[in-house]
Every structure is written in structure tokens, then in C-alpha cells.
Chains A and B, each alone.
Chain A
Amino acid sequence: MTVGRPQRLFAAGPARDPRFVVKEHWVECDNFPGHHPLHLVQFFHRQMNEEVDSLEASAQSIADFPDAPWELRLALARQCADETRHARAFRAHLERRGGRVGQFPVLNFQYRIITALGDLVSRLLIQNRSFEAGGLDAIAYGVGEARTRGDTELAEFYEAQLADEIAHVRFANAWIRRTLKDDPRTVLRMGQALSAAAEAFRIVMGRDGTADADYPAAVQARLEAGFTAEEVRVAADLAATVHAVPSAASSADRRAAG
């Protein structure tokens, strides 16, 4: 763990087998432009690893919080299964296009940022309500792009992934709201978590990794995921004006998906 800034922002990274080269900053990775022949292959590789990261973060939360309400642990367990399916699907798309596991460097910043947080509500806030909610916008955008290109198979996969991610954001939203209702002071912890995650995200992504990274808010998906109409409006405004927030993480990766 040598990102080189306050250690509290990052936990140790998850284990990776020798096929993977793990980097710490976005700029150290292969970030091929949209016209590059390896662009889409690299995108699938990155998404595969990010889904593994999500699996690992959810699994770590199950292990770290044995006293969490059972319904929440059950939802996290389901998320583990879902993220596994997504990782397998991205691997299949990768290999179908001639790519291979370990072909490109990877980042594990999501796991490291999420599991650095010491309470479950903060983790749900960052993993599900920020990273994955940002993913809703990016996936919805990807669906449209894939359909425009005539890639029906990829569009259908994104649709299925979107449905799963909506469920993940929804259960997190429900638990966060419940926790806030029971203990309004939780909002202070949430604010600290957001600040820490945003700072960590900026360290990893830098300016290059977040520039032009936002997509229009996926209004319907966000509403289904339990955001209020006002929250969706704010997200839409932010997408137009702010780049360096955690929710841009998935967007940054998906930016060049087309």
C-alpha cells in the first residue's frame, strides 16, 4: 500500500494471481483511445477486474460485520453471486474478442477505498450508493451505444447487468435511509466517508482519469434504485458539472466503451 498519501484512505489490496499486474494510479494503466484496436478488449478486461473487486468488497463486508442484520448480510451474499456472474460474463466477452486474463494492468482502488472504511453503512454508501450508482448511469449509456452499433448481444448483457446493479443500489439506499432514521448522527459518518473516498479517488484517478468521465444520470434506473426524484435531479446536475467524485469511477472506465 504505497499510494503515498494518508494511509487511512486505502486498505491493503486484495490478492491477485501472477497473471495480473496491479497498478495504483489510473495513468499507469493502458488507457487506449476509442479508435484503438485494443480499446474494447482492454475495457472488458478492466470491467472483469472491477467486478472481482466488487465481489471482494462485498465478501469482505460479510466477513467483517458478523453482527449486521441478517437481511443485509443476505443481500451482500446475493451481491457476491451477482458480481461473480458479471466477472465471468466480462471474461467471456474479453476472450471472445481475442483477449486474455492478465493482458493489461489493473487497478484495485475500489476494494481498497471501500474496505478502508470501518463501518458497514459507510461501505454501502461508497460501494453501492456511489460507485455502483455511478455505474447505473454508465451502463445505461452503454446499452444505448451498443444498440446503436448493432451489438445486440452486448446490449442485452448490459441490460441484465443494469438490473442487477439497480438491486444492489436499492438495498443499500434502503439500509442507509433506515440507519439515518434510527440515528441521524450517522450523516456525519457518511460525510466523512464521502470525503475520504473522494480524496482517495482523486489520488488514484488524477485529472486525466476523471476528465470527461460523467454520463447523463440514468433517471429511471436511479429511481428504481431508490433515489428520490430530488436526488436524481442533483445527480443529473452533478454529472454535468463535477468530475472528481467517486461515482465517476465506473464511468471513467466505461467512458471509452463505445
Chain B
Amino acid sequence: MGLTVKQRGQHVATFRFVEVRLMEILAAWVPSTPEMEVKLLFGPHIWDCAQAADALGRRTHELRLPLQHSLAPTAAYLDVLDAVAAAAGAPRRIAAIYDVMLPALAGRYRRYLSRTDALMDAPTVRIIEHILGTEARMIREANELRTQLPALALDDPDWLPRLAALESSVAELADQPAAPDGTRQAA
């Protein structure tokens, strides 16, 4: 069975929370990252994440939640976001966002698409498809920058797999939205 309206709203509001948090993380990094080219990578991506959050936040209202409503993800996923926010140095920061978080988030968006009713939830589908395209571009731009500036490549081979493992250990993004039969489903 697909997702109920209530579940869709909960998932969309949770995705919104994550996009806002990514926006905030990138914003906090702009002044504190020395490399100008990295600041200029993060700058427009703040706006990309904000637009994603805004579109999701308008959709929450259509799904009978307040306008621009956010729901915090699971505590485990909050820990992941905190670990990302704590990354120091341009190579780690770039790797955390563009090698771990955005690809993993894309996987979670795709999982949502596979579970929802593409006809009755078409507005959400359109929003997520657009976000997927945007975030693929963000990853591409980060990779192009690392090609231009090899010094931005990660020099600690153990750090990234640890972060990726932490992220992938979180099965559920949404905080256990209830299914009609009372069971809990992964986001």
C-alpha cells in the first residue's frame, strides 16, 4: 500500500527539515572556509537548498500541514547532520555534502517516489524530481571544482567511509510516521 496523505505530509515536512539544515550548514561554512572558490561553491547552493525547502514547505500546506512546516528527522539522523556540521576544512566539508549527504538524500527521495502514488501525489513527485536534478548539478559543480583545484581532494581516506556508514545506518529519515494499519515505515 502507498503512503497516506498524512504520511506524505510527514515525509515532505521531514525532507524540508533536512534541506533547511543543509542550507544552514553551508551558510555557516561560507565565512569560516578560507578558500574563496569554496565559498563561491557553497554560496549558490545555499539558495538551491533554500528553494528545495521552500517548495517542500509549500507542499506541506497542500498536505494539510501548516505552510512551511518542518518535522525533525529521527535522532539518529540528527546525529548525522551534526557530524556533517562539525566537519572542519574545505576537503572534508565538500566531501561530507557532495559525496555523502546529497547522494544519500537522493536515494531517500527516490525511495519516497517508489512508494507514493505517482498520480495522486503528483505535486510532490514533481517537486522531488526537480530537487533531484538540482542536487545532481550541485554534485557535478563540486566535482568540477575539485578537478580544477586538486588540493580540495580529501586527504583522509578513513574519514569519509565512516561518515557514509553513519548516514547509511539510519534506515528511517522520518520519525516513524504511522501507517494506516499502525505499522511504521521507513522514509
Contact = CB atoms under 8 A, between A and B. Distances in A.
Given A14-B31, A62-B23, A80 B57 contact: no
Contacts, number: 85
A246 to B, nearest CB: 20
Contact of A59 (B28, B35, B48, B57): B28
Which secondary structure characterizes the binding site on chain A?
helix
Given A59-B28, A63-B27, A73-B50, A17 B36 contact: yes
A78 B44 CA distance: 8
B47 A56 contact: no
A81 interface: yes
A70 B57 contact: yes
Contact of A80 (B33, B43, B68): B43
B43 A59 contact: yes
B28 A55 contact: no
The CB with the most chain B CB atoms within 10 A, among A52, A62, A77, A81, is that of: A77
B92 to A, nearest CB: 15
B3 interface: no
A59 B27 contact: yes
B123 interface: no
A88 B40 contact: yes
A85 B34 CA distance: 18
A138 B23 CA distance: 32
Contacts of B32: 14-15
Interface string B1-31: 0000000000000000000000110111011
Nearest to B32: A15
B121 interface: no
A55 B51 CA distance: 17
A70 B48 CA distance: 15
Interface residues of B, number: 26
B44 A63 contact: no
Contact of B47 (A17, A52, A70, A81): A81
B36 A80 contact: no
B154 to A, nearest CB: 18
Given A62-B23, A63-B24, A77-B50, A15 B43 contact: no
Given A62-B24, A77-B50, A84 B34 contact: no
A236 B50 CA distance: 36
A78 B45 CA distance: 10
Interface in A77-100: 77-78, 80-81, 83-85, 87-88
A88 B23 CA distance: 21
B39 interface: yes
B99 interface: no
Given A60-B27, A88-B40, A77 B47 contact: yes
A123 B39 CA distance: 21
Interface in A60-74: 60, 62-63, 66, 70, 73-74
A19 to B, nearest CB: 8
A106 to B, nearest CB: 10
Contacts of B34: 15-18
A111 interface: yes
Contacts of B39: 52, 55-56, 84
Nearest to A61: B27
B46 interface: yes
B137 to A, nearest CB: 13
Given A73-B23, A80-B46, 9 more contacts: A55-B40, A56-B30, A56-B39, A59-B42, A60-B28, A63-B28, A77-B49, A77-B50, A87-B43
22 contacts: A15-B33, A16-B34, A16-B36, A17-B36, A52-B36, A55-B39, A56-B30, A59-B26, A59-B31, A63-B28, A70-B54, A74-B50, A77-B27, A80-B27, A80-B30, A80-B47, A81-B46, A84-B39, A84-B44, A87-B36, A111-B31, A115-B31
Interface of A: 14-20, 52, 55-56, 59-60, 62-63, 66, 70, 73-74, 77-78, 80-81, 83-85, 87-88, 101, 111, 115
